[in-house]
Amino acid sequence: MGAFVRSADGNVGEAVDKPEVLALRKAVLVAMLDANPELTEPMETRRSDGHRTPTADHALLFGHNVSEDGYIGVDYGELVTRYVAGLNVDNPGEFAIPPPIELGGIVQGRPLNHEYAEAAYDILTTRNQQSRRIAAAIDVLDFIWRNSTSITATLAS
């Protein structure tokens, strides 16, 4: 899933405030994870949910400049950089930024609770003590829900 992001009073392609972008990612992350089954449920009842359960890795957020004629170039990957060029946002049928190679796909994913995401974003962008605490809690969820072999049950608990 992808979207173009702009500030409420801006246009697509204009610079967006970095704290607002980080708040957006956290809001989408927490709303996405909220639809997942509880980790306290027995594994036997959750085993078939693997193909439907997004992890924190699925809440990636990339920022790309869009040229005046609608073209973008994408590069990502820390050790092995992947480049995708020639994508034009004016051709939605042909426009797709491929996900990172190691990211598994979600089949029949659960719908994102937009009201939850919007409420979380509103709180996270107030920039007060409560919002900082909530942001820190979301950072912990982000870590716990990473689907990496380097994160074990002992490390996450």
Residues 20-65: tens digit of each pLDDT: 888 999 999 999 888 877 767 776 766 666 667 788 888 877 677 7
pLDDT band at 152 (very low <50, low <70, confident <90, very high): low
Q: In 10 A of CB 130, how many CB atoms?
A: 11
Neighbours of 61 (CB within 10 A): 13
152, part of any domain: yes
Domain span at residue 149? Answer: 18-60+109-157
Q: What angle do CA 78, 34, 18 make, to 5 degrees?
A: 45
**Position 11 in a domain:** no
Residue 56 lies in a domain: yes
Mean model confidence pLDDT for the chain:
78
Question: Looking at per-residue confidence, does 50 or 152 come out higher?
Answer: 50
Total of domains in the chain: 1
- Taking the C-alpha atoms of residue 112 and residue 129, their distance in angstroms, rounded to an integer, is 27
Does 124 map to a domain? yes
How far apart (Å, rounded) are the C-alpha atoms in residues 37 and 65?
36
Structure tokens at 125: 């962008």
Query: Residue 1, class by beta-carbon neighbours within 10 Å (0-12 exposed, 13-18 middle, 19+ buried)?
Result: exposed
Residue 113 within any structural domain of the chain: yes
Residue 126 lies in a domain: yes
* Residue 85 maps to a domain: no
Give the pLDDT confidence of 6-17 residue by residue, as tens digits.
677 777 667 777
Q: Which residues touch 55 (CB under 8 Å, ≥6 apart)?
A: 145, 146, 147
